[in-house]
Amino acid sequence: MHIHFAISAAALLHAVSAEPIPQVSIRALPNAPSGGYAPAAVPCPASKPTVRAAAGLSQNETAWLQLRRKATVDPMIDFMKRATIPNFDAEAYIRSVANNFSALPNIAIAASGGGYRALMNGGGFVAAADSRTPGSTGKGGIGGLLQSSTYLAGLSGGGWMVGSVMLNNFSSIVQLRDGFEGSSVYQFSSSIFKGPKQRGLSILNTASYWDDIIDQVNEKRKAGYNASLTDFWGRALSYQLINAPNGGPSYTFSSIALTDEFAQGNTPFPILVADGRLREDKVVTLNATVYEFNPFEMGSFDPTVRGFVPTEYIGSNFSNGAISRDGQCVRGFDSASFAMGTSSSLFNIFILQNVSAIDAVPGFIADTIVSFLTDLDDDHNDVAQWTPNPFYQWNPSTNPTASTTELSLVDGGLDLQNIPLTPLLSPHRAVDVIFAVDSSADTPQNWPNATALRATYERSLLPIANGTLFPPVPDANTFINLGLNSRPTFFGCSPSNFTLLPGQILPPLIVYVPNAPYTAMSNVSTFTSTYSDDQRNDIIRNGYDVATQGNGTFDAEWPACVACAILSRSMYRAGRPAPAACEACFSRYCWNGTIDSEDKGPYLPTFKIRNGTTVASSAGRRVVASGWSFASVVGAVAVATLVG
């Protein structure tokens, strides 16, 4: 059976690569008023932007949801038809709740951090969930899940994946992977230390690449704004994520809202996550404020800040929630590259420590960068500086940074919540099910053991959670011993297990999807900076295989079980018992409370589908996966400065 699947998987990968794919287009998103990376003052609108109290969703998000929730109905119906829950008409059920958004299932996807590993593994899941991916709607596939989802959240490397999809006009992962001649998007064979190796949208050589990046960051400084290591990191990163000349220095995150696909409700709502950190601190705890960036707003539902500022006008000088009468409005501070860099700013220290050792960087350029970055680090600008602080003097009794003119933000996974769940747990968003894709490196061998889930559960027990619930999660040894880190597992299946206080709502059902070696040893180091096209394709395909349970190899009813997870909370609210087939799915996939905490030694998994080799490309070439697994890339950490 496994051999048969390996052949089928090869044919599927060939189909994905061989079918004509529309090329990724240059996006019309360069709307920074300066025309470059620097923010600039602009006339304020008639009603000046203000900080909004986080008592609910913004008017913009609420209005957009009316479009998006309607747009998910037909894809959800199509998905339910293909999933085929035995002896249950799921299509009829979705039609019956289609006009009632409080009853219609509300789906979210959350992609963890973990550098390029997370981008590619998370990309594999999104490719499997995308009905545009050839083969994804066939037997064993879950294509259409993406089109049925309301929210798509990413953190660090997962945020790069989310950003690359959304900033390139909701391109598919296959489109981004294959690109077109002259594009540097998803071209990971050339380190971002060295810069793109192709012409076209790329610059010509490493010296001019770094010279351009330095000039772009200096533009921001000359405009009167603080620069940090994250500015360099984000600008370098953008060359591989934004399909535009020089990585699109004038592209803003808020401009996603201006694209036709998003404005019409045809895409999920993208969210990036970062943590707040006090200037003098070096450690981020679960009590840290979790900030989100979305096309409309930046801020937090946490009881510390409890506020949001319009993303488009971050950089304006707000004080106690308002711009002064004679104050200017600023646009362009929300650079798309700066937002993605902020969510992955863990890598700043690697920039500082390693850039001078990279042979690809010309000596005079390296010396300039090191000198500049060392000065920044001495000034505690080793994190992303969002200055002026948009929440200055806002909620001073609870906001820990209300008295500071700068807001320091760091990698969203530094509090161990490496899956961006917090924004999706807000009762205001009423999410029913979250597909939590975990590409974390929790074990010494770089496999996940659900540390991120446990961190979010532990945070739910603290006052900062403000009563938001989360299902219990077992310890790391139990996770490994029961095999919960090698296949999807559901958490929070039984609503009756939650005791709700006044004002509380049920937490979403969590469908945990961990990175595991199905067809590739995808446990590459977080700090590996380069990947061949074959390696990239293998890891993306492995993520696809994890998402589909080997295209049905391990469970032919997996699509039906995904459908059951989608329907679970909606049917509970409607007082409808779960179909018998769903009860069988929950019996297989829901954690039943069993604990096995014995330490049984290192976790060293083998291939779940094909031992020792994977099909590397549509041409059918093979590579020995273990030949480029963790052991062989340890040396690449030395050149991992700009990788996350």
123-160 pLDDT, tens digit per residue, is: 999 999 999 999 999 999 999 999 999 999 999 999 99
The partner residues of 330 in beta bridges, in order of sequence, read: 41
Q: Answer with the residue of higher pLDDT: 22 or 483.
A: 483
Using an 8 Å Cβ cutoff, are 473 and 454 in contact?
yes
Integer angstrom CA distances of residue 483 from 421, 478, 486: 23, 8, 5
Q: pLDDT-derived band of residue 348, with 50, 70 and 90 as boundaries?
A: low
The pLDDT of residue 7: 30
Span of 60-69, 177-186, 211-220, 242-251 with lowest mean pLDDT: 177-186
The pLDDT of residue 284: 86
Query: Which tens digit of pLDDT belongs to each residue from 324-340?
Result: 988 999 999 999 999 99
Q: Answer with the residue of higher pLDDT: 579 or 618.
A: 579
Query: How many whole angstroms separate alpha carbon 14 and alpha carbon 482?
Result: 35
High-pLDDT (> 70) share of the chain, %: 83
Span of 27-31, 169-173, 384-388 with lowest mean pLDDT: 27-31
- In the block, which residue shows the tokens 């109905």? 73
Residue 336 burial class via C-beta count within 10 angstroms: exposed 0-12, middle 13-18, buried 19 and up: buried
Using an 8 Å Cβ cutoff, are 432 and 570 in contact?
yes
Span of 423-427, 528-532, 539-543, 612-616 with lowest mean pLDDT: 612-616
In whole numbers, what is the pLDDT of the chain averaged over residues? Answer: 86
In the structure encoding, which two tokens stand for residue 218, read together?
């200096």
Query: How many whole angstroms separate alpha carbon 105 and alpha carbon 115?
Result: 31
Nearest 10 degrees: CA dihedral of 163, 168, 172, 177? Answer: -90
Q: pLDDT-derived band of residue 26, with 50, 70 and 90 as boundaries?
A: very low
The pLDDT of residue 538: 96
The pLDDT of residue 183: 84
Query: Which tens digit of pLDDT belongs to each residue from 80-99?
Result: 999 999 999 999 999 999 99
pLDDT (mean) for 620-634: 25
The pLDDT of residue 101: 93
* Homologous superfamily of the 2-639 domain (CATH): Cytosolic phospholipase A2 catalytic domain (3.40.1090.10)
Span of 102-111, 125-134, 229-238, 557-566 with lowest mean pLDDT: 229-238
Using an 8 Å Cβ cutoff, are 445 and 603 in contact?
yes
The partner residues of 511 in beta bridges, in order of sequence, read: 435, 490
Residue 199 has pLDDT above 60, yes or no: no
Query: How many whole angstroms separate alpha carbon 227 and alpha carbon 83?
Result: 50
Through-space distance between the first and last CA atoms of the chain, rounded to whole angstroms: 37
In the structure encoding, which two tokens stand for residue 333, read together?
């501070």
High-pLDDT (> 90) share of the chain, %: 72
In the structure encoding, which two tokens stand for residue 11, read together?
């044919």
Q: pLDDT-derived band of residue 527, with 50, 70 and 90 as boundaries?
A: confident
Query: How many whole angstroms separate alpha carbon 420 and alpha carbon 456?
Result: 9
CB within 8 Å of 206: residues ≥ 6 apart = 193, 194, 195, 360, 361, 362, 365
Span of 81-85, 452-456, 610-614, 617-621 with lowest mean pLDDT: 617-621
Query: How many whole angstroms separate alpha carbon 174 and alpha carbon 21?
Result: 8
Residue 465 has pLDDT above 50, yes or no: yes
Residue 620, classed as helix, strand or coil, is coil
Residue 523 has pLDDT above 60, yes or no: yes
Q: pLDDT-derived band of residue 345, with 50, 70 and 90 as boundaries?
A: confident
The pLDDT of residue 502: 87
Residue 11 has pLDDT above 60, yes or no: no
Query: How many whole angstroms separate alpha carbon 459 and alpha carbon 453?
Result: 10
Q: Answer with the residue of higher pLDDT: 206 or 572.
A: 572
Residue 100 has pLDDT above 60, yes or no: yes
Q: What are the domain boundaries of the chain?
A: 2-639
